[in-house]
Structure 1
């Protein structure tokens, strides 16, 4: 006898089961994640997936199984962005995966500080540098949102550099350059010519435990931990900033919500002027800026 075809399943039921699994696992936004994972499998956008659920559309059994497998992995707290392969950042969609720090929404505020500083420069072609670029998120935001600027990005992790290189090729910003180099020695040819230096360095103290499993178990340690007090790389950035920036140039550093005062004191002691700490959209301290004397 011929085998009967496997019946399609209502998308609403597939999503309901996914939300239940993700909720039990403690995933912060289970409904959003369920829809995004289904959208990834179906090859459509989030809005179209939501509309299909409301209409009562069905999906094929193999599609439902694929969603269930991704949901199972997400329930282990594997990052959503690793499962879909993409991470939104401002107006960009970046390729990410194991070995590179997944850009976070709070870093969009850091990028905005750098963009504002770069736009304020009275130059036909101001120069910006992003040190420890990771996926390339900040550098590519600068290059695409301030197209008259020249943007340089440095990364010294092989795994992260592979992702950054892919994103630079994908975005195709002709005013952006990527280099595989340690941040301490990056771009000597730009000494005293840079208008904005920005970085999201590793700033978690070595003995601290990140609260989110997605960070603790899946982000590369080199992108997280910054020494006993978390500020080892910030100290390096202070010195590099004095080398790269011209007088009046701006330094922008992302950091943890508890580190603003320490970083202001560190930078002031090193001779920086106008140190200030800025909050993200959750009203937590997120970045400190300073001006090169």
Structure 2
């Protein structure tokens, strides 16, 4: 009886999620990426069109990956190993309850800014009016503005951004999350919204505050965040000085200013605001006990 000829070509075995994830984690760890396992899981989830839990489940089941999924993940891992921000690769940055669209040309919102937004939201909620009014100056992706607009019922919120590229990202996020009372304006924060002078309840901002000679260590920041969103002059406070004047113009008496800053800048910002006539300047720590936000009240 004739024996059927054996297949002399090796059979292709599909790549498996578990081994692929372990290999991706090693590549990112070798590249010095913080939290390499988390990033590998998030990139696999992105490729699978799932949440992080879906990627973890796929690895536990040791699912087979389609060739195109495997190839796409390898490309994303290689880019992340070159320290391209994770958020640029997925196109999304989580911020409070939002998932903001981000990419080249806009500052990626950080977890510490969520605390800045909370202080602005608290001040806005404390306003007696049913329709409190606020502005986010230098809004970038729209993070603080959209947090205020979506978490304070009845609030009317303006978002001001000068950069054309950042404004385009903010427009996408306002279209996605904004309320009918959310207004995006392209313009310089120094001259913003003169028609609203003396009428706003809260002015919030995450301005550029890195001193010009303090080059950030993280490649994701140094190489990919837009310089105009980072650097604030010799002491990092050039834009804060401008912001102080703009906020005094825009706020009503008793209105609140909320500014994000570097952890070492609380005292000089309080001094700056006191010299400009603000009252009750106070600096607040973030969740890691670092001073990151200063508030003040317009007299």
TM-score (norm 2): 0.96
Equivalent pair of 2:150/2:178 in contact (CA under 8 Å) = no
Query: Partner residue of 1:232?
Result: 238
Q: Determine the C-alpha separation between the residues in 1 that align with 2:74 and 2:62.
A: 19
Equivalent pair of 2:131/2:154 in contact (CA under 8 Å) = yes
Query: Partner residue of 2:194?
Result: 188
Shift of 1:4: 7.7
Residue from 239, 250, 256 that aligns with 1:244: 250
| Unaligned stretches of 5+ residues in structure 2 | 1-6
Query: Partner residue of 2:58?
Result: 52
Equivalent pair of 1:201/1:253 in contact (CA under 8 Å) = yes
Q: Determine the C-alpha separation between the residues in 2 that align with 1:215 and 1:172.
A: 27
Residue from 266, 269, 272 that aligns with 1:263: 269
Q: Which runs of 4+ in 1 moved over 2 A?
A: 3-7
Residue from 131, 136, 144 that aligns with 1:138: 144
Residue from 197, 202, 206 that aligns with 1:200: 206
Q: Determine the C-alpha separation between the residues in 1 that align with 2:12 and 2:276.
A: 69
CA offsets per residue over residues 69-123 of structure 1, 9 Å max, x none? Answer: 1011001110000000000000000100000000000000000000000000001
Residue 92 of structure 1 pairs with residue 98 of structure 2: yes
Shift of 1:12: 0.6
Q: Show the 5 A alignment for 1:33-182.
A: 33-182=39-188
Shift of 1:256: 0.4
Secondary structure of 1:26's aligned partner: coil
Secondary structure of 2:69's aligned partner: helix
> Number of residue pairs matched?
293
Equivalent pair of 1:6/1:61 in contact (CA under 8 Å) = no
Residue 14 of structure 1 pairs with residue 20 of structure 2: yes
Q: Determine the C-alpha separation between the residues in 2 that align with 1:181 and 1:56.
A: 51
Equivalent pair of 1:78/1:218 in contact (CA under 8 Å) = yes
Equivalent pair of 1:7/1:61 in contact (CA under 8 Å) = no
CA offsets per residue over residues 204-249 of structure 1, 9 Å max, x none? Answer: 0011111211000000000000011000000001101110000100
Give RMSD over aligned pairs.
1.4
Secondary structure of 2:100's aligned partner: strand
| Unaligned stretches of 5+ residues in structure 1 | none
Query: Partner residue of 1:287?
Result: 293
Equivalent pair of 1:7/1:60 in contact (CA under 8 Å) = no
Secondary structure of 1:9's aligned partner: coil
Query: In the superposition, relative to structure 1, how do residues 7 and 142 fare at CA in structure 2: closer, same or farther (>3 Å)?
Result: same
Shift of 1:5: 7.1
Secondary structure of 1:58's aligned partner: coil
Q: Determine the C-alpha separation between the residues in 2 that align with 1:258 and 1:280.
A: 13
Shift of 1:10: 1.2
Query: Partner residue of 2:4?
Result: none
CA offsets per residue over residues 173-221 of structure 1, 9 Å max, x none? Answer: 2221000011011111111010000000000001111121100000000
TM-score (norm 1): 0.98
